[in-house]
Chain A
Amino acid sequence: MSASTDFLLAIEDLTVSFDGFKAVEDLSMYIDKNELRVIIGPNGAGKTTLLDLICGKTKSSSGSIKFKNSELTKLAEHEIVRTGVGRKFQTPSIYENLTVYENLEVSYPEGRSVFGSLFFQSDDKVRDTVLQIAEDIQLLDALDTEAAVLSHGQKQWLEIGMLLMQDPELLMLDEPVAGMSAKERDETAELLNRICQNRSVIVIEHDMEFVKKIARKVTVLHQGKILAEGDMDKVQNDEKVIEVYLGH
């Protein structure tokens, strides 16, 4: 058992096996407060599985995940969220039949119990938060638009906005720019640089151009293990990394 650390997120000896196949194996990784970490790696490297493990969607076989020095692996999904971990899915997960405003409002972290939600009253604070975040994600003009008709990029932003409503200390984004146009990618990079000011962010990404724009520290995963870790230049010049990933 490790002693308490200053890290926001400390993953140690994490292993998960699906019928003997180890998707993540003895993985240890530490995320600092206010750090933006990018995880890259070829398909099947275990990137999404790692996020699933942190947010509780998949249960680990062994190892520990400590967030603010408390163990996450034993908690239910919604309890993990309530400790301050937010996760964006790979495909945009928004509520298509609600408007942009309702999507954001429903994500506000109050009235989370059954009876709390029945008697939840939106107030000025909720309203101002919604409007502020709508502005951040450039959807202020589309507040009353049904989310179903948004463009793919706007949907991705809306989901990021829904996570920002919860003001998580750790935000995990799974391929946030997949399927976006070049302009949208630039805007997303700007958005990420803005929102990581006072929280830690983990981003999984394939698009190396995009990674270069946002990355300070990169972790390369390969076959469930860490292949390399460090700043962008170091990782790009690492021979092992070139061999399994960048070279292709």
Chain B
Amino acid sequence: MSFFYERFLGGKNGAYGFIILAVLILIVLPLTLDLFRLNLIGKYLTYAFAAVSLVLLWGYGGILSLGQGVFFGLGGYAMAMFLKLEASDPENTAIQSTPGIPDFMDWNQLTELPWFWVPFEHLWVAILAILVVPAVFAFIIGYSMFKRRVGGVYFAIITQVIAVILTVLIVGQQGYTGGINGITDLRTLNGWDIRVDSAKYILYFVNAILLLSVICISRFVLTSKFGRLLLAMKDKEDRVRFSGYDVSNFKIFIFCLSAVIAAIGGAMFTLQVGFMSPSFVGIVPSIEMVIFAAVGGRMSLIGVVYGTLIVNLGKTTFSETFPEVWLFLMGGLFIAVVMFFPNGLAGIYEKYASKIGFLKRFQDSGNKPAGAAALEEKAKSQGAE
């Protein structure tokens, strides 16, 4: 139990933040918001997966990926392909010239389901694809870059280029991908209608619980020796290498893990919003994800969830009122955060909460620092002898 508490929740400090977040998204929001707004929050929380993935990769690993949208998209498309096939049974598509294939394929004069679509008739293939395809893709990118010691700004640029390439590919191959419109008109998941109110509630909770689980798993990674090595690599990569670690393997692993986390978010997005399109794959969404992480605090697994929610609520509010200035506002926000609050909201919280009485209680860490604990243990074991 204490192992779970320390390693998955992050001790007293982490556990408080985790519980407050869990209460907020599992109890407070569902009780106070109507379904339309709750569904909107659910959509934002799918972006939070990408923000959490950036805490691991960028905050701790020091590897800035400007292509997390790629993995979000891969997960989203894998889920959308399954749902689309289910929605395209011969009965529903009887008016097409080729019944039984997705509508956009029919519009593009395809007469047969492409080979790579065929396995997506099965839900288990889709779920496997959501987890495996992004990991394999990230492995290939990571292996070819980190083994050659490509990093820093070059890595950021290349991931950005990959996001562009994938978008162009999806838009260009309309018959296979649904093109710029994406994959729309999704209806049921194994016969269960995902468009009705009850399904929207259930999917919201599934999504929230998945997000909390991903945070726990990420916490486990960050509290392990692996997490300390990430920080060490970010600071002095050569020292880690010349301490006997194969640095590239660690970077490849964290890149693959972050890809899978973003992909789960993408899949949940498709389920809750009911479509997937290339506008969630390219440069703009990828950079937005970085902004969510920066605003929330890139070193804080919990903070980035709030960052994502706040930026998106701001976006929804402002982009309706002032659609032209929103992008400038967002850019300004990013610059301001990077310049004045490098640790984002979480950093501000940590700095000022200790000055406010009732918040202070949450902050005083019950954990003894490792060194003092070690000295005490040693004294104890010597006393016992």
Contact = CB atoms under 8 A, between A and B. Distances in A.
Interface in B334-383: 369-372, 374-375, 377-378, 381
Contacts of B231: 95, 97-98
A109 to B, nearest CB: 6
B250 A114 contact: yes
B241 A77 contact: yes
Interface stretch (B27-35, B79-87, B103-111, B232-240): B232-240
B242 interface: yes
A95 B232 contact: yes
A115 B226 CA distance: 8
A89 B238 contact: yes
Which one of A78, A81, A82, A98 has the highest number of Cβ atoms from chain B below 10 Å of its Cβ?
A: A78
A159 B235 CA distance: 14
A120 B241 contact: no
Contacts of A119: 224
Contact of B228 (A100, A102, A131): A102
A96 B235 contact: yes
Interface string B282-315: 0000000000000000000000000000000000
A124 B236 contact: no
Interface residues of A, number: 43
A143 B224 contact: no
A114 B249 contact: yes
Given A78-B245, A143-B371, A144-B369, A93 B221 contact: no
A87 B241 CA distance: 11
Contact of A87 (B228, B242, B246): B242
A118 B245 contact: no
A45 interface: no
Which 8 interchain pairs have the tightest Cβ spacing?
Answer: A143-B371, A101-B371, A81-B244, A144-B369, A93-B239, A120-B225, A144-B371, A95-B232
Interface of A: 55, 57, 76-78, 81-82, 86-87, 89, 93-102, 105-107, 109, 111-114, 117-120, 124, 127-128, 130-131, 134, 143-144, 159, 162, 166
15 contacts: A55-B242, A77-B242, A78-B241, A94-B239, A96-B235, A100-B371, A106-B225, A106-B229, A117-B250, A120-B224, A120-B226, A124-B381, A131-B378, A143-B374, A162-B243
